């Protein structure tokens, strides 16, 4: 499976600020997704990061709040904008290969908003 590097691993941020999370993969992957995992909860899909075009967002998530970039097949960023304490969660990128449904996860970014 691909090696997925995600950073930062954790951060403590002030209300109203923004944080950009990076996801780097050691090989080209077709699919990249961003998930959120609130404390003690399941994984919720935020969006699909599309290479060369705008991300596809799930219901309840909007581009102004969670802008995503995917400049190539190995890298993506997720920004959490204008943060509030409700954004405190673990954010995970996940990747999959062409024709293969298996998804693997990055190590996650634990975000705490004060």
Partner 1 sequence: GENVEQHPSTLSVQEGDSAVIKCTYSDSASNYFPWYKQELGKRPQLIIDIRSNVGEKKDQRIAVTLNKTAKHFSLHITETQPEDSAVYFCAASRAGGYALNFGKGTSLLVTP
Residues making contact with partner 1 (CB under 8 A): 30-31, 33, 41-45, 48, 92, 94, 96, 98-99, 101-108
| Residue closer to partner 1 (CB basis): 10 or 15 | 10
Q: Output the CA–CA distances (angstroms, integers) from residue 29 to 53, 76, 83, 100, 103, in the order listed.
A: 15, 11, 30, 10, 10
Smallest separation, CB 64 to partner 1 (Å): 21
Smallest separation, CB 63 to partner 1 (Å): 17
| Residue closer to partner 1 (CB basis): 67 or 108 | 108
């Amino acid at each position: 499976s691909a090696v997925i590097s995600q950073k930062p691993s954790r951060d403590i941020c002030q209300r109203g600020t923004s944080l950009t999370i990076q996801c780097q993969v050691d090989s080209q992957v077709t699919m990249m997704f961003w998930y959120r995992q609130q404390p003690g909860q399941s994984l919720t899909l935020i969006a699909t990061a599309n290479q060369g075009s705008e991300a596809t967002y799930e219901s309840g998530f909007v581009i102004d709040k969670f802008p995503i970039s995917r400049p190539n097949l190995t890298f993506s960023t997720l920004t959490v904008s204008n943060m509030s304490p409700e954004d405190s969660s673990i954010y995970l990128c996940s990747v999959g290969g062409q024709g293969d449904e298996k998804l693997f996860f990055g190590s996650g970014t634990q975000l705490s908003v004060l």
